[in-house]
C-alpha cells in the first residue's frame, strides 16, 4: 500500500473526529463517560493488531518478533510521554484561552521537524525546512479570528507560564511521535507485534487513569467497568472506531513513512474539519481560513515535489562540437 493513500485516509478520519464527537453530544453535553472512549479505542487497536498478528503467523510462520526484555521495556515510554502531555495540556488551559492554545499547538509542527533531525538523524533540505515553517504559518493563519473579536486581544495577553507550558506541550507531542517512529524502525519486527506491545501498555495506562478517576470522585458513579457503556449510542461507537482506526494508520505511517507525513496529514485534517464545519454546522468561513488553506497547499507542494519541479533552472547549453583538425600524413615512396 502506498504511503500517500494511507496519509489521505488518515486525513479524512482525523478530520471527522471532531465532527463525530460533536454529533455524539446530546443537548450540548455527553451522556457517556468520555474517559472511557480512549480506553475502548486502545482495546480496539490491541484486538485488531492481535488478530492481524495471528493471521500473519498462519501465512508466514517465520514472522520476526523480538521478546527480549531490553526491547519490550521501551514500549511503555510513549504512553508515559502522552500521559505527561495530557496533564500539561490541562495545566496550559488554566492560563490561556482555547483559541490561544490551539494556535500554540502549531508549534509541534516545527518541533517535530527539529526532533526528527536531531534524534532520527534525518536530513531535510532547505526547501523542506521552508515548507515546514510555511505549514505552521498556514495552520496558524487559518485559526486566527478577526481582530474585531475579543479573542484577538487576548492572543498575546496570557501570562508567561501559559506560553512556557504551551511550548512544553508541543515538544512533548513531537517527542512522543518521533520516539514512536524510532521504536517502529528500530528493528525488522512485525508491525502487528510492535502494535500489540504499544497498545497493551496503552490499555493498561488508560485503565489506570479510570481507576484514579474513581478514587478522586469517591466512586460516586460506581467503578468504571460498571459505567463503561452507559450512554453509548451509535455515534459514540463511531467515535471509538474512528479513534482506533486513526491510531492504526498512524502506526503504519511510523513504520513505513515518517513523522513529517503524519504532521501534514493531521494539519490538512484540521483544515478539512473547518471546511466541513462550514457545511454541517453553519460555520462562517473567514478570509484567514482561505489564506491558511492556500499557504498549506503551497507548503505541501514545496515539501513533497521533486526539486527540479520547484526550481526552474536554465537548460545547460550543449558544448559546441570541436572543429575537425586537418592532419597531414607524410607518405614515403616505396623504395
The DSSP string of 17-38 is HHHHHHHT-BTTB-SS-TTHHH
Contact yes or no for 171/109 (Cβ under 8 A): no
Average pLDDT value for residue range 93-120: 87
Please give the pLDDT value at position 282.
75
Contact yes or no for 190/53 (Cβ under 8 A): yes
The residues facing 26 across adjacent strands are 29
The model carries a pTM of 0.86
As given in the structure block, the three cell numbers for residue 73 are: 521495556
pLDDT in tens, 261-297: 999 999 999 888 888 887 877 777 788 888 999 999 9
Cα 197 to Cα 66, 183, 193, 306: the distances in Å are 11, 11, 6, 37
* Range of 78-92, 151-165, 194-208 with top mean pLDDT: 194-208
pLDDT in tens, 156-202: 667 888 889 989 999 999 999 999 999 999 889 999 999 999 999 99
Contact yes or no for 261/253 (Cβ under 8 A): yes
In angstroms, rounded to a whole number, what is the distance separating the alpha carbons of residues 249 and 177? 13
In angstroms, rounded to a whole number, what is the distance separating the alpha carbons of residues 192 and 196? 6
pLDDT in tens, 310-332: 776 665 566 656 555 555 555 55
CB proximity list for 104: less than 8 A, separation 6 or greater: 92, 96, 163, 166, 167, 169, 170
The residues facing 29 across adjacent strands are 26
In angstroms, rounded to a whole number, what is the distance separating the alpha carbons of residues 205 and 160? 31
Rg from Cα positions in the chain: 26
Neighbours of 273 (CB within 10 A): 18
Amino acid at each position: 500500500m502506498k504511503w500517500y493513500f494511507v496519509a489521505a485516509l488518515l486525513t479524512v478520519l482525523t478530520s471527522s473526529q471532531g465532527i463525530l464527537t460533536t454529533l455524539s453530544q446530546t443537548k450540548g453535553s455527553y451522556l457517556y463517560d468520555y474517559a472511557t472512549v480512549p480506553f475502548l479505542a486502545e482495546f480496539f487497536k490491541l484486538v485488531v493488531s492481535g488478530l492481524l498478528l495471528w493471521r500473519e503467523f498462519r501465512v508466514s510462520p517465520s514472522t520476526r518478533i523480538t521478546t527480549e526484555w531490553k526491547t519490550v521495556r521501551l514500549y511503555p515510554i510513549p504512553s508515559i510521554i502522552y500521559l505527561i502531555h495530557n496533564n500539561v495540556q490541562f495545566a496550559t488551559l488554566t492560563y490561556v484561552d482555547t483559541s490561544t492554545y490551539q494556535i500554540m499547538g502549531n508549534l509541534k509542527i516545527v518541533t517535530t521537524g527539529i526532533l526528527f533531525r536531531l534524534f532520527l538523524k534525518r536530513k531535510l533540505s532547505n526547501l523542506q525546512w521552508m515548507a515546514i515553517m510555511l505549514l505552521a504559518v498556514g495552520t496558524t493563519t487559518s485559526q486566527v479570528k478577526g481582530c474585531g473579536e475579543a479573542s484577538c486581544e487576548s492572543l498575546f495577553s496570557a501570562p508567561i507560564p501559559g506560553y512556557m507550558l504551551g511550548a512544553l506541550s508541543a515538544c512533548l507531542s513531537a517527542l512522543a511521535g518521533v520516539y514512536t517512529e524510532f521504536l517502529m524502525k528500530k528493528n525488522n519486527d512485525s508491525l502487528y507485534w510492535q502494535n500489540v506491545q504499544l497498545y497493551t501498555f496503552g490499555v493498561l495506562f488508560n485503565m489506570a487513569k479510570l481507576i484514579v478517576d474513581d478514587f478522586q470522585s469517591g466512586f460516586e458513579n460506581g467503578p468504571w467497568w460498571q459505567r463503561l457503556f452507559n450512554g453509548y449510542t451509535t455515534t459514540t461507537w463511531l467515535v471509538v472506531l474512528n479513534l482506533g482506526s486513526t491510531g492504526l494508520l498512524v502506526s503504519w505511517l511510523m513504520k513505513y513513512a515518517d513523522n513529517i507525513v503524519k504532521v501534514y496529514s493531521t494539519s490538512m485534517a484540521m483544515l478539512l474539519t473547518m471546511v466541513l464545519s462550514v457545511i454541517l454546522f453553519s460555520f462562517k468561513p473567514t478570509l484567514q481560513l482561505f489564506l491558511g488553506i492556500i499557504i498549506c497547499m503551497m507548503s505541501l507542494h514545496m515539501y513533497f515535489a521533486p526539486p527540479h519541479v520547484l526550481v526552474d533552472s536554465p537548460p545547460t547549453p550543449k558544448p559546441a562540437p570541436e572543429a575537425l583538425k586537418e592532419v597531414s600524413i607524410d607518405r614515403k615512396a616505396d623504395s
